[in-house]
Amino acid sequence: DSGVTQTPKHLITATGQRVTLRCSPRSGDLSVYWYQQSLDQGLQFLIQYYNGEERAKGNILERFSAQQFPDLHSELNLSSLELGDSALYFCASSVGLGHEQYFGPGTRLTVT
């Protein structure tokens, strides 16, 4: 168990809908990262936060947004969902930027 928690574990929703994925980092970690893992694809970096501030963006769609709250938990919001958004979404945390990342168990999103 990495100490990173993600909820929900599974999410099934329809196209056009909006969902929110939640992540709680390990105790003491200030950095949170979000990744998307599609079938037969590697981990695609989406966005990272450090102590509430956005620090880097990857291949994150404009329909997606995220934030890190004062208690350091983070939420990833996905809107106007499309079938192609079906994937595993992982959150990772680290003590500081660039340090070893510890991954949560992921949220499996299915868009029907």
Partner 1 sequence: QQQVKQSPQSLIVQKGGIPIINCAYENTAFDYFPWYQQFPGKGPALLIAIRPDVSEKKEGRFTISFNKSAKQFSLHIMDSQPGDSATYFCAAREGFPGTYKYIFGTGTRLKVLA
**Residues at the interface with partner 1 (CB under 8 A):** 2, 4, 33, 35, 41-45, 48, 50, 55-56, 58, 90, 92, 97-98, 100-106
Burial class (CB in 10 A: 0-12, 13-18, 19+), 31: buried
Per-residue b/e over 3-16, b at no fewer than 16 CB within 10 Å?
Answer: ebebeeeebebeee
Q: How far is the CB of 41 from partner 1 (least distance, A)?
A: 6
Closer to partner 1 by CB, 18 or 99: give it: 99
Closer to partner 1 by CB, 42 or 70: give it: 42
Q: How far is the CB of 35 from partner 1 (least distance, A)?
A: 8
Tokens encoding 3: 């100490």
Contact in structure between 73 and 24 (CB atoms under 8 Å): yes
Q: How far is the CB of 39 from partner 1 (least distance, A)?
A: 11
Closer to partner 1 by CB, 79 or 103: give it: 103
According to DSSP, the β-strands at 53-57 and 43-50 are antiparallel
Q: How far is the CB of 76 from partner 1 (least distance, A)?
A: 15
